[in-house]
Structure 1
Amino acid sequence: MTLQKKATIISSSTATVLIVIKLFVGILSGSVAVLASAIDSVLDLIVSAFNYFAITKAEQPANKKFNYGKGKIEALAAVIEGTVITVSGLFIFYTAIKKAIKSEPLEYLGDSIMVMVISLALTIALVLFLNYAAKKTRSMVVKSDALHYKTDVLSNGAILVSLVLIQVTGFEMIDSIMGVVISIYIIHSAYEIIRDGVYILLDASLDEEVVEKIRNFILEEKEISDFHYLKTRKSGNTNFVDVHLVFSPGISLLRAHYAGDRIEEKIKELIPNEEWVINAHLDPYDDSEMNDTQPIKMD
């Protein structure tokens, strides 16, 4: 089993444990913050289960129907996850406002505080593992899951602080205020997840730092006089690079081929634990003006 799949299974298991204890104490205490956190954990479980499905599909090899594989399903999963997070944030916001208007008293504060301490400890441990898995695999799904649970760490910590303050001061409006703050933060964090997923679905280029290094590798190759139509994109764990390399007209095909190979090897070393598909078109002269392909406008 791959590390990506293990990460989603551990996420799902952790979410299940948190759902049980949060719902039980949240219903008893009537704390909107604890109940909101329980609902968030339910969504965590749904998202983690979907992520497992997405990773399973993304890892399938290319075939006759899907020539480039199914890597983009990870980006689609990230967009769905971000949308789910946004919806949960909106629900928490609504619940917090409703709680403030009705002014319902809190009960079992001690139990609620204990639940949030346990929840915070489990979530911190999960985030540490997901961060490790994300760095090792560079999977967008795992990265999104890690970011999601990071927001849970902050929200659980905020809820814990609010419950302690309520127990000390007796000012129960803190519960609703904290619920509103948490909801706004959750919605804000979801934006980044959705944005990154949409960028990949729309074939956005690789990070500018990576693209600049690719340009430098090409320019450093003494056999190449120029290049054009450099295009990059990402799909799942695979990076795609297309470029036209310009050589002197008299160069042999073998020398041009070796030069292209040297550049490809350097590019692959940029992120060695990811797949690279590099398509280099060898030109004996600069044909960019004659080519029907429209040149890319660089800002």
Structure 2
Amino acid sequence: MKLPLKTRYALLSLVVSVVLVGVKFYAWALTDSQVVLTDALESIINIVASAFALYSIYLAGLPKDENHPYGHGKIEYLSVGFEGGLILMAGGYIFYAALLALWEPHTVARPDWGIVLLAATAIVNLGTGWLLVRAGRQHHSPALVGDGQHLYLDAVSTFVSCAALGLVMLTDNMLYDALAALGLGAFIVVNGFRMVRRSVSGLMDEADVSTVQQVVAELQEHREPAWIDVHNLRVQRHGANLHIDCHVTMPYYLSLEQTHEHVHDIEALVAQEFGIPVEMFVHADPCTFAACWHCHVTDCPVRRHPFTQEITWTLANVAKNERHQLEVTSPPSPLSEKERGD
């Protein structure tokens, strides 16, 4: 059975991580360098994180069930947080070990071999990380993006390790080894914190501003006269899936069938824009006479006020849980039973 594309990328990351950790520990055995050990220990996390990312992508691909009506996509954010937590712990230990090495420097052996081996692993990590980030963004997978960014981080750490070994080889000063490990420890801690922050943001449904802006722009560009107003727009990401709900004001005299057709058009428009599974719930609100001032319906049988101004939908006003109304300068008169269709 052919594995899904995202699963294949996650499996590639796991295999690459296992091979490169072996190479880095071999380089540490040759050099006895603190910065190489730091790099190798940080890379162990790649294996655990890649395995968890692989499992989370498998879970995220499962269909909805009674216990998970919105699907299993949130697990990918948990994967990013788990990976960030591991990076934080590793960075803390690396920082501590670097301080000890700075206090009691020791000789680094065969730094030239260490540079060659580490540089090779850095190049492989950069290439794999680029593939994962690109695939994760194309398929809207936070787990793949997080795993790829971690490999970028690992590659940066390795290049720093190479530079430190080069300085040791040129100057015969062992302090460069410990100082580089100290700097890497701090760098790793900061990036681990950022990954945890991104995970918490996704799990807590923090507003995805760029996605909301994309939805608003699409509705504004293709708005129809019967879509008088859009408000209370909310967007949630569940892994690669989107859940969107909003309120749309429409002429109150439309039949249930006509209202349903407009709701279906809105859902289809948004789904086509993103090209990924989109679950959209649209609540239809009946219009009031205050909406006449910015209603585009030209053949409205119950209009009480002339069209004055279009209200442009933006991120600032569509997200509010209130209808957009121009100031009503004169109170509308009630409709007769004939006009209401009673």
Instruction: Report if TM-score (shorter chain) is over 0.5.
Output: yes
Task: Tell me how many residue pairs correspond in the alignment.
Answer: 287
**Partner of 2:299 in structure 1?**
none
**Which residue among 231, 237, 242 is the counterpart of 1:239?**
242
User: Tell me, which stretches of 5 or more residues in structure 1 are unaligned?
Assistant: 287-294
Amino acid at match of 2:122: L
Aligned-partner Cα distance in 2 for 1:196–1:176 = 31
Distance 1:126 1:156, change over 3 A: same
Deviation at 1:84, TM superposition (A): 0.6
Asked if the contact 1:76–1:201 (Cα under 8 Å) also holds between the matched residues in 2, the reply is yes
Amino acid at match of 2:39: S
Aligned-partner Cα distance in 2 for 1:217–1:112 = 53
State yes or no: 1:214 paired with 2:220: no
Aligned-partner Cα distance in 2 for 1:95–1:129 = 33
Q: After the TM superposition, which residues 183-222 of structure 1 pair with which residues of structure 2 at under 5 Å, given as runs?
A: 183-206=185-208, 208-219=209-220, 220-222=223-225
Asked if the contact 1:221–1:263 (Cα under 8 Å) also holds between the matched residues in 2, the reply is no
Alpha-carbon displacement from aligned partner over 1:266-287 (angstroms, at most 9, x marks no partner): 2123321x2111000112237x
Alpha-carbon displacement from aligned partner over 1:175-214 (angstroms, at most 9, x marks no partner): 11111211222122223321221112112223x2331332
Tell me the TM-score normalized by structure 1: 0.90
Q: After the TM superposition, which residues 163-174 of structure 1 pair with which residues of structure 2 at under 5 Å, given as runs?
A: 163-174=165-176
Tell me the TM-score normalized by structure 2: 0.79
Distance 1:174 1:212, change over 3 A: same
Alpha-carbon displacement from aligned partner over 1:244-288 (angstroms, at most 9, x marks no partner): 11111112223322222222222123321x2111000112237xx
Asked if the contact 2:140–2:239 (Cα under 8 Å) also holds between the matched residues in 1, the reply is no
**Partner of 2:270 in structure 1?**
267
State yes or no: 1:226 paired with 2:229: yes
Question: Once superposed, what is the RMSD of the aligned Cα atoms?
Answer: 1.7
Query: Highest Rg: 1 or 2?
Result: 2
**Partner of 1:131 in structure 2?**
133
Asked if the contact 1:205–1:232 (Cα under 8 Å) also holds between the matched residues in 2, the reply is yes
Asked if the contact 1:217–1:263 (Cα under 8 Å) also holds between the matched residues in 2, the reply is no
**Partner of 1:75 in structure 2?**
77
Q: Percent identity?
A: 23
**Partner of 1:289 in structure 2?**
none
Asked if the contact 2:17–2:47 (Cα under 8 Å) also holds between the matched residues in 1, the reply is yes
Deviation at 1:95, TM superposition (A): 1.3
User: Equivalent residue of 2:279, what SS?
Assistant: strand
User: Tell me, which stretches of 5 or more residues in structure 2 are unaligned?
Assistant: 289-319, 323-342
**Partner of 1:36 in structure 2?**
38
**Partner of 2:11 in structure 1?**
9
Distance 1:110 1:213, change over 3 A: closer
**Which residue among 46, 51, 54 is the counterpart of 2:53?**
51
Asked if the contact 2:78–2:203 (Cα under 8 Å) also holds between the matched residues in 1, the reply is yes
